[in-house]
């Protein structure tokens, strides 16, 4: 998939069984998103990248 717009045909063709099978994972990831886990991870990665020259042990 090259673009997020490409996901709509996939989503539109989900069966109810496929959706129900994904629901537990969707709930888990949704909680992580709401709690900012991915944003914190991205911020930490950025901070480490900026400070990389100072982290040479």
C-alpha dihedral over 17, 22, 26, 27, to 10 degrees?
Answer: 70
pTM exceeds 0.75: no
pLDDT tens for the chain, residues 1 to 57: 688 888 898 889 999 999 999 999 999 999 999 999 999 999 999 998 888 776 665
pLDDT for the residue numbered 55: 64
3 φ, ψ (degrees, to nearest 5)? -145, 145
DSSP codes of every residue in 23-56: HHHHHHHHHHHHTTHHHHHHHHHHHHHHTGGGG-
């Amino acid at each position: 998939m090259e673009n997020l717009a490409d996901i709509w045909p996939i989503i539109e063709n989900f069966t109810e069984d496929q959706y129900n099978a994904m629901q537990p994972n969707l709930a888990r990831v949704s909680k992580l998103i709401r709690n900012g886990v991915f944003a914190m991870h991205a911020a930490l990665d950025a901070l480490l990248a900026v400070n990389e020259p100072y982290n040479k042990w």
